[in-house]
Amino acid sequence: MTVHIGAEPGQIAECVLMPGDPLRAQWAAETFLENAECVNRVRGMLGFTGTWKGNRVTIHGSGMGMPSLSIYANELIRDYGARTLIRIGSCGAMQDRIAVRDVIVAMTASTLSTPSRGFFREVNFAPCADYGLLRAAVAAAEARGTPVHVGGIYSSDVFYDERPDLTEMMTRHGVLGVEMEAAELYTVAARHGARALAVLTVSDHLLTHEALPSDQRERSFGDMVEIALEAAFG
């Protein structure tokens, strides 16, 4: 047990999928895993371990933002032996060619700052995905016929951003979408020699202002979960 995770030794799998919302973790575990068991309830951050096609996997919430994600990623790797961590979440699209419901597989994650910034001081560390996971996720998406985009994303420190100039700059430089966690996940994984990837469903569009209706979110998010699982074990 750790300060933030109440699982006993051996209850966390080496592969962990990390949605931000703990209730989405519960939904994904109940929908896609066999014999899913709740292994963490500390602070309401739910975690479940079960099997997918005979492979042990944990689905554990990360909370919103990089500071929260950093806590769980560090403890999952350091104290529970997690070696593959895949963020499954939503993002806002920043390019015209990307549509709502498409999937973005994040190759890199730019950011203004992360909880790990103090480690690097003057160095601008470039957080990137594990290539093997990335390649497998793209192959899984293409096999399913899911529209998929691969490239850089932006991990924001804030949800209510008041920097339209920043959005314009990111868009001009080809950034595919914005979310709030991946850059720190990639950094923590790199520090501990683990594999990391972010597979993201486009839930809204910053340019067109289109948003995914709530009744369609589960089906679209389901594609993302299966892509992540195929990437981890395919």
180 annotated to bind ligand: yes
- Res 147 pLDDT > 90: yes
Percent of the chain with pLDDT over 90: 88
Mind listing the pLDDT tens digit for each residue in 16-52?
A: 999 999 999 999 999 999 999 999 999 999 999 999 9
Report the chain's mean pLDDT, rounded to a whole number. 95
- Res 121 pLDDT > 70: yes
Q: What is the CATH number of the domain that holds 155?
A: 3.40.50.1580
Cα separation, 49 vs 227, in Å, equals 18
Three-state DSSP class for residue 111: coil
Three-state DSSP class for residue 11: coil
Cα separation, 131 vs 195, in Å, equals 9
- Res 1 pLDDT > 90: no
Task: For residue 140, report the phi and psi dihedrals to the nearest 5 degrees.
Answer: -65, -40
Residue 76 included in any domain: yes
Mean pLDDT of 140-168: 94
Whether the CA torsion 103, 209, 61, 80 is positive or negative: it is positive
Cα separation, 61 vs 74, in Å, equals 13
Task: For residue 130, report the phi and psi dihedrals to the nearest 5 degrees.
Answer: -70, 125
Residue 3 included in any domain: no
217 annotated to bind ligand: no
- Please give the pLDDT value at position 218: 66
Residue 62 included in any domain: yes
User: pLDDT: is 169 or 216 the higher one?
Assistant: 169
Residue (of 139, 206, 201, 137) closest to 169 by Cα position: 206
Q: How far apart are the first and last CA of the chain?
A: 30
Mind listing the pLDDT tens digit for each residue in 56-108?
A: 999 999 999 999 999 999 999 999 999 999 999 999 999 999 999 999 999 99
203 annotated to bind ligand: yes
Half-sphere exposure of 209 (CA within 13 A, CB side): 0
- Please give the pLDDT value at position 72: 98
89 annotated to bind ligand: yes
- Please give the pLDDT value at position 78: 97
Number of domains in the chain: 1
Catalytic residues: 204
Residue 10 included in any domain: no
43 annotated to bind ligand: yes
Structure tokens belonging to residue 174: 């080809």
Percent of the chain with pLDDT over 70: 98
Residue 207 included in any domain: yes
Residue (of 92, 84, 223) closest to 170 by Cα position: 92
* Domain encompassing residue 141: 15-233
Q: Distances from the Cα of 30 to the Cαs of 87, 143, 201, in angstroms?
A: 18, 24, 20
- Please give the pLDDT value at position 122: 87
